[in-house]
């Protein structure tokens, strides 16, 4: 008996050992090292960084550019999930139960389902380069070409300070929506069809179907989507770095925390300072995770 | 509870024994301890032919930035020349577009390669390298006999500005190989066909812009709007022309109010006017390739750039385009520096790593590069002038290089340069962002200069940033 228990434990441990060790080496250890590097003035090439205490953090609190980046992450954190979820829910509803009979999708829904998923298949860097062309400010731009042909002035989607941030948000939404349409579709599929039928017999229109049946029963899935999108909004980097002017510009109008960290480390060679930013970002992310776990604690609905 | 996993004390101890292993493997992000002195063996004997003591049998590792000039010049010109003299030294040639990503870990790990062409958008910060004594002092190279003539020192075969600009902490340690000449570039064909004249004064320049704009044939002016450093270049050169070289010296030295001088105001106001009236539509969102290609298609007449332009555009330039370059026109009539004043700056920066295994070979490699044959072949291959004096003599060169070298000859002693952007990365970023705003009308000239001045002051008061003087 004891021997069996021992073997069983050994079996489990041997399976856990590999992932735990990998996790320790490649995730936990670098985190801890970042905390240490944040307390030094390391510039990346020396073998002996100098310990300077909390100086980097003091400097960080006066760094308006970093706080601008934090504001942008904050705005994305609110807007990206909101817009994406609203659009994705709308599409998922149309594709699955929005048809005239109420239990099937609108015409051609199978085709749309595939099309909506396309952006998700593309790598983020590809999307960024693609949209650079879409947003081009001259006649070759996909959006400005027709505008200019109609005699309007071209819009500086990426070069106008007031517009650039919204362009970034639009691209992120464009890329994310497809995945959440699929996620919500799966959620919808698990709702028994008779609920929709019963509601329809009671005379519910599409609108009340959506707000009284679909949304409440999908609430769990929506929460999951919210957390995923929140994380996406906090660690956004590639879209901003590749697509925007001056990597987060024009004039810092689209910069985000990850971009500032990269710039400090690999642009200005201030690895210590960049690590301090990373530590701050770490606490923002952990804060968001705790907050979202707290808020989403809710009873499940059993069918 | 036989069904729940149970970890015994022994297993816990066994697990604990693994932790140090993980710790040892995890020491990858933080720098390694400094290695023992790199060259334990005594350097090889020096001689007039081998002034630094290159050791036979010890390899030489070379990293080339694979950018506008490619890497063929190193493989087919420089390395064969070096190998002809040192056949027993194995040359390990490498190239990358991402110098920092590939080589920063090697510096941090204490085994950097000998020769690095530290160029491109992702070069390793020279200030950081210098601060950590990673740069080999190249003074010995300057005082060594030149490759071609044992009676002439290397120092006398290159432009003085190379030595000034390559000096960090009083030690010459960065060799700019290419002489970049900045100016306003145009098509000689377009100007001839339309009867446009090269403007000698700023008023004539504005009048020319007006003429071109009214002609409807093309837009008057553009710049790489995505990279506003292309525009602060003529702005600063103009300020130096108006207020004298000390304008730029003071900016480099982070003097109080250096950015907000009258000369800077004049220049910022002048360029803001161009930004407001004469830019090609969409300029602020286009990059250097897009704007330069627009010029090749005769959609825009003029743009500020440097002497690398012709080579960069060789695939899109029409046969008879004929690149030409003119200097910043006279602005006030009482400019401190005469017409023809040029911004010339050595670029394509080569360094030798002080902590590499064989820095002697690295210096010898640079000495070979500075020979007339190496430099001349280089110029012929990539259509760009080097810092080696007279290396293109008697060679057939392109219209752009001809135009640029004529401008250099005309400028004589009246050349200027600045270095702050290499010294203070955050200041460069601020100037780039602010210049973009100035040109798109988001900042007035006064606000523009105040903003950069504020950043300069911030850097001046930041004790963690090492300061430089020129």
pLDDT of residue A300 exceeding 80: no
In a domain, A4, yes or no: no
Please compute the mean of the pLDDT values over residues B236-249 and round it to a whole number: 95
SS (H, E, C) chain B: CCCCCCCCHHHHHHHHHHHHHHHHHHCCCCCCCCCCCCCCCCCCCCCCCCCCCCCCCCCEEEEEECECCECHHHHHHHHHHHHHHCCCCCEEEEEECCHHHHHHHHHHCCCCCCEEECCCCCCCCHHHHHHCCCECCCHHHHHCECCCCCCCEHHHHECHHHHHHCEECCEECCEEEEEEEEEEEEEHHHHHHHCCCCCCEHHHHHHHHHHHHHHCCCEEECCCCCCCHHHHHHHHHHHHHHHCCHHHHHHHCCCCCCCCCHHHHHHHHHHHHHHHHCECCCHHHCCHHHHHHHHHCCCEEEEEEECCHHHHCCCCCCCCCCEEEECCCECCCCCCCCCCCEEEEEEEEEEEECCCCCHHHHHHHHHHHCCHHHHHHHHHHHCCCECECCCCCCCCCCHHHHHHHHHHHHHCCCEECCCHHHHCHHHHHHHHHHHHHHHCCCCCHHHHHHHHHHHHHHHHCCCCCCCCCC
Question: Chain A contacts of B134, Cβ < 8 Å?
Answer: 45-46
Interface contact flag, A9 B11, Cβ < 8 Å: yes
Please compute the mean of the pLDDT values over residues B385-393 and round it to a whole number: 82
Residue B414, min C-alpha distance to chain A (Å): 32
Specify the pLDDT at position B311. 84
| Rounded-to-integer distance, Cα A232 and Cα A76, Å | 9
The topology under which CATH files domain B60-180+345-405 is: D-Maltodextrin-Binding Protein; domain 2 (3.40.190)
Contact residues, B window 39-98, toward A, CB-based 8 Å cutoff: none
pLDDT of residue B279 exceeding 90: yes
What is the per-residue pLDDT across B402-413, written as a single tens digit (0 to 9) for each? 888 888 888 888
Q: Kindly identify which residue of chain A lies nearest to residue B282, measuring between CA atoms.
A: A137
Residue A43, min C-alpha distance to chain B (Å): 6
Q: What is the CATH number of domain B181-342+417-460?
A: 3.40.190.10
Specify the pLDDT at position B38. 44
A105 by DSSP, 3-state: which?
coil
Please compute the mean of the pLDDT values over residues B450-468 and round it to a whole number: 90
pLDDT above 70 covers what percent of chain B? Answer: 91
Q: What is the mean pLDDT of chain A?
A: 87
Specify the pLDDT at position A303. 59
Nearest by CB to residue B425, choosing from A55, A160, A267, is A267
In a domain, A223, yes or no: yes
What is the per-residue pLDDT across A80-129, written as a single tens digit (0 to 9) for each? 999 999 999 989 888 887 666 656 777 777 888 888 888 888 899 999 99
- Domain with residue A75: its CATH number is 1.10.3720.10
pLDDT of residue B21 exceeding 50: no
Interface contact flag, B284 A144, Cβ < 8 Å: no
Question: Do B181-342+417-460 and B60-180+345-405 have the same topology in CATH?
Answer: yes
In a domain, A8, yes or no: no
What is the per-residue pLDDT across A206-252, written as a single tens digit (0 to 9) for each? 788 888 888 888 888 898 899 899 989 998 999 999 999 888 888 88
Residue B152, min C-alpha distance to chain A (Å): 36
Q: What is the mean pLDDT of chain B?
A: 87
ipTM of the complex: 0.77
Interface contact flag, A46 B131, Cβ < 8 Å: yes
Question: Chain A contacts of B426, Cβ < 8 Å?
Answer: 268
Domain that holds residue A58: 34-295
pLDDT of residue B350 exceeding 60: yes
Please tell me which residue, A2 or B195, carries the higher pLDDT value.
B195
In a domain, A176, yes or no: yes
In terms of Cβ atoms closer than 10 Å to its own Cβ (0-12, 13-18, 19+), residue B332 is: middle
Please compute the mean of the pLDDT values over residues B11-34 and round it to a whole number: 47
Nearest by CB to residue A159, choosing from B110, B132, B284, is B284
pLDDT of residue A190 exceeding 60: yes
Q: Does A206 contact B at CB distance below 8 Å? A: no
Contact residues, A window 233-252, toward B, CB-based 8 Å cutoff: 245-246, 249-252
Please compute the mean of the pLDDT values over residues B426-453 and round it to a whole number: 93
- Cis before A250? omega within 30: yes
Please compute the mean of the pLDDT values over residues B339-368 and round it to a whole number: 93
| Rounded-to-integer distance, Cα B147 and Cα B418, Å | 30
A11 by DSSP, 3-state: which?
helix
Q: Does A14 contact B at CB distance below 8 Å? A: no
Report the domain count for chain A.
Answer: 1
B351: closest CA among B92, B175, B172? Answer: B175
Specify the pLDDT at position B67. 81
* Domain ranges across chain B: 60-180+345-405, 181-342+417-460
In a domain, A291, yes or no: yes
The pLDDT-based confidence of A298 (bands split at 50, 70, 90) is low
pLDDT of residue B184 exceeding 90: yes
- What count of CB pairs under 8 Å joins A to B? 159
B442: closest CA among B206, B305, B284, B290? Answer: B284
In a domain, A11, yes or no: no
In a domain, A178, yes or no: yes
| Token pair recorded at residue B95 | 């190239």
Interface contact flag, B282 A154, Cβ < 8 Å: yes
| Rounded-to-integer distance, Cα B75 and Cα B88, Å | 17
Q: Kindly identify which residue of chain B lies nearest to residue A58, measuring between CA atoms.
A: B462
What is the per-residue pLDDT across B119-165, written as a single tens digit (0 to 9) for each? 987 888 888 888 888 999 999 999 999 998 889 999 999 988 899 88
Contact residues, A window 109-138, toward B, CB-based 8 Å cutoff: 135-138
Specify the pLDDT at position B43. 58
**A259 Cβ neighbours under 8 A, 6+ residues apart:** A69, A237, A240, A241, A247, A248
Specify the pLDDT at position B1. 36
In a domain, A25, yes or no: no
Q: Does B120 contact A at CB distance below 8 Å? A: no
Specify the pLDDT at position B25. 40
The pLDDT-based confidence of B41 (bands split at 50, 70, 90) is very low
What is the per-residue pLDDT across B291-315, written as a single tens digit (0 to 9) for each? 999 999 999 999 999 988 888 888 8
Q: Does B289 contact A at CB distance below 8 Å? A: no
Interface contact flag, B286 A137, Cβ < 8 Å: yes
């Amino acid at each position: 008996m004891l021997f069996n228990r021992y073997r069983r434990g050994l079996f489990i441990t041997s399976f856990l050992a590999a992932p735990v060790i990998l996790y320790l080496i490649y995730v936990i250890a670098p985190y801890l090292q970042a905390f240490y590097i944040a307390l030094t003035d390391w510039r990346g090439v020396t073998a002996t960084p100098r310990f300077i205490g909390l100086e980097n953090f003091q400097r960080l609190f006066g760094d308006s550019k970093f706080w601008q980046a934090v504001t942008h992450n904050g705005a994305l954190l609110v807007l990206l999930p909101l817009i994406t979820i609203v659009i994705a829910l709308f599409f998922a509803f149309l594709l699955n139960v929005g048809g005239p009979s109420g239990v099937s999708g609108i015409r051609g829904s199978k085709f749309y389902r595939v099309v909506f998923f396309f952006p998700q298949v593309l790598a983020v860097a590809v999307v960024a380069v693609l949209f650079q062309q879409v947003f081009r400010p001259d006649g070759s731009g996909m959006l400005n070409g027709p505008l200019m042909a109609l005699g309007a002035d071209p819009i500086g989607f990426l070069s106008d300070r007031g517009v650039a941030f919204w362009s970034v948000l639009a691209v992120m939404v464009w890329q994310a929506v497809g995945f959440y349409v699929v996620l919500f579709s799966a959620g919808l599929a698990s709702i028994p069809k008779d609920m929709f039928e019963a509601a329809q017999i009671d005379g519910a229109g599409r609108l009340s179907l959506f707000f009284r049946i679909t949304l409440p029963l999908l609430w769990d899935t929506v929460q999951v989507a919210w957390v995923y999108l929140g994380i996406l909004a906090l660690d956004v980097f590639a879209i901003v770095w590749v697509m925007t002017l001056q990597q987060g510009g024009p004039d810092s109008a689209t910069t985000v925390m990850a971009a500032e960290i990269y710039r400090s480390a690999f642009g200005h060679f201030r690895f210590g300072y960049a690590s301090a930013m990373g530590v701050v970002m770490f606490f923002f992310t952990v804060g968001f995770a705790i907050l979202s776990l707290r808020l989403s604690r809710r009873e499940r609905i059993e069918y | 509870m036989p069904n729940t996993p149970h970890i015994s004390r022994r297993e816990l101890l066994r697990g604990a024994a693994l932790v140090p292993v993980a710790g040892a493997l995890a020491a990858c992000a933080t720098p390694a301890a400094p290695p023992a002195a790199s060259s334990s063996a005594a350097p090889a004997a020096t001689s007039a032919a081998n002034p630094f003591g290159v050791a036979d049998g010890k390899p030489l590792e070379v990293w080339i930035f694979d950018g506008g000039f490619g890497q063929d010049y190193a493989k087919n010109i420089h390395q064969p020349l070096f190998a002809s003299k040192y056949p027993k030294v194995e040359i390990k040639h490498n190239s990358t577009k991402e110098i920092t990503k590939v080589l920063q870990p090697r510096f941090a790990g204490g085994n950097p390669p000998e020769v690095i062409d530290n160029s491109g958008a992702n070069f390793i910060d020279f200030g950081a390298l210098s601060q950590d004594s990673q740069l080999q002092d190249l003074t010995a190279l300057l005082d060594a006999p030149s490759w071609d003539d044992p009676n002439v020192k290397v120092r006398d075969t290159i432009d003085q500005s190379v030595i000034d600009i390559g000096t960090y902490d009083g030690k010459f340690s960065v060799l700019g190989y290419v002489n970049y000449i900045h100016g306003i570039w145009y098509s000689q064909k377009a100007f001839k066909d339309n009867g446009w004249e090269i403007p000698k004064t700023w008023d004539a320049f504005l009048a020319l812009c007006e003429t071109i704009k009214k002609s409807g044939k093309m837009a008057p002016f553009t710049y790489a709007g995505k990279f506003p450093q292309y525009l602060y270049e003529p702005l600063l050169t103009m300020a130096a022309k108006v207020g004298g070289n000390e304008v730029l010296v003071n900016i480099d030295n982070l003097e109080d109010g250096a950015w907000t001088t009258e000369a800077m105001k004049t220049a910022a106001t002048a360029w803001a006017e161009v930004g407001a009236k004469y830019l090609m539509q969409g300029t602020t969102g286009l990059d250097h390739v897009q704007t330069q290609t627009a010029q090749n298609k005769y959609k825009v007449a003029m743009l500020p750039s440097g002497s690398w332009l012709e080579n960069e555009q060789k695939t899109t330039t029409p046969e008879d385009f004929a690149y030409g370059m003119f200097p910043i026109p006279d602005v006030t009539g009482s400019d401190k520096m005469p017409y023809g004043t040029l911004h010339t700056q050595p670029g394509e920066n080569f360094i030798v790593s002080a902590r590499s295994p064989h820095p002697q070979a690295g210096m010898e490699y640079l000495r070979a590069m500075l020979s007339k044959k190496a430099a001349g072949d280089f110029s012929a291959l990539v259509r760009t002038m080097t810092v080696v004096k007279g290396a293109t003599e008697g060679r057939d060169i392109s219209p752009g290089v001809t135009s640029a070298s004529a401008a250099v000859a005309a400028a004589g002693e009246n050349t200027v340069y600045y270095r702050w952007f290499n010294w203070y990365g955050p200041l460069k970023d601020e100037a780039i962002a602010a210049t973009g705003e100035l040109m798109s009308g988001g900042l007035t000239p006064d606000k523009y200069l105040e903003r950069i001045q504020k950043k300069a002051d911030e850097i001046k008061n930041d004790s963690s940033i090492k300061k430089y003087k020129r």
